[in-house]
Amino acid sequence: MSTNKTSTGEELLAFFRGEYVPISEARVSVMTHALHYATAVFEGIRGNWNEEKGLIHIFKLREHYERMLRGCRLLMLDIPYSLEDLCQITVELVERNGHRQDIYIRPLAYKSAELVANLKLQDLASDFTLITVPFGNYLGSDELRCCTSSWRRPEDTMIPTHIKSSASYINSILAKTEATLAGFDEAIILNQKGHVCEGSGENLFMVSRGRLITPLLEDNALPGFTRETIMDLAEREFSIEVVERSIDRSELYLADEVFLTGTAAHLTPVVELDNRAIADGKTGPISSKLQRMYFDIVVGKNPKYLHWCTTAQPRLITA
């Protein structure tokens, strides 16, 4: 899905140990603490190419780094960069990589100490690295067929659920593996109480009697920015009532519409769950209009919401 080459074949750069270096030179030791214990937090940010303006639009850049820095605080990852530094490094890397297409931006803060058999967070060196790669459709389909996962989301008392820690993604990966091996596009994961939580890398919404309903963050869903954006747009632009509450599994079978939201997934409708069609098995009208508006905004085509985007101008790559 992703590559370390530009569209014209040059090797992309990474930000690594304080410098911009070719991705092939950005390597860590097998002794790295994070490699053994997933002592890391990361972000997934999208840069959307606007051909008309010749600019990449990076959606909610600061918010992503705020979430990453919250994760750093929780996992005692002391990285030598401020929020402003992180935003500036990101724009610089995107520009240097000269992307003229949609991209995925992956920052990672990790325990870089080369020391194993050490099960604690304090007194271990940390570092920050960043890559940007070309990126297209993440889920591989515009209308998803999903299954309910046999895996459950961990509680916050097991693994922190409000941050994007690398460790928590083993749960997502197990669920997604199970779903895709069974021929589905994506997994819907329940929490310990059996309430609907989210997809493997997306938040979830259902439409019922004209209202938009999404699980509470207390039900262990990640506080996603796409979720927040969709809730905001639904209320502000379409006067749709938005309700955060626990959702039972069987409510999804009876919903008028279901969709997933995430940086990688954008807004993608779920048309089938556990081999049952959701309503008439087609993308619903509320999903469609929210999706259209969201797409325009993230690519910088809606002047009212340009402040949600940070722009980067690709530089010409010279070998």
Contacting positions for ligand PMP (CB under 6 A): 44, 164, 172, 198, 201-203, 222, 224-227, 261-263
Which position among 164, 176, 193, 289 bears the catalytic label?
A: 164
Nearer to ligand PMP by Cβ, of 154 and 302: the residue is 154
Nearer to ligand PMP by Cβ, of 6 and 214: the residue is 214
Nearer to ligand PMP by Cβ, of 173 and 277: the residue is 173
Nearer to ligand PMP by Cβ, of 49 and 104: the residue is 104
Q: Write a three-state SS string for the chain.
A: CCCCECCCCCECEEEECCEEEEHHHCCCCCCEHHHHHCCEEECCEEEEEECCCCEEEEECHHHHHHHHHHHHHHCCCCCCCCHHHHHHHHHHHHHHHCCCCCEEEEEEEEECCECCCCCCCCCCCEEEEEEEEECCCCCCCCCEEEEEEEEECCCCCCCCCCCCEHHHHHHHHHHHHHHHHCCCCEEEEECCCCEEEEECCCEEEEEECCEEEECCHHHCCCCCHHHHHHHHHHHHHHCCCEEECCCEHHHHHHCCEEEEEECCCEEEEEEEECCEECCCCCCCHHHHHHHHHHHHHHCCCCHHHHHHEEEECCCCCCC
Min CB(87)–ligand PMP separation in Å? 16
For residue 164, indicate whether it is catalytic.
yes
Min CB(9)–ligand PMP separation in Å? 30
Nearer to ligand PMP by Cβ, of 129 and 172: the residue is 172
Min CB(318)–ligand PMP separation in Å? 34
Catalytic residues: 164
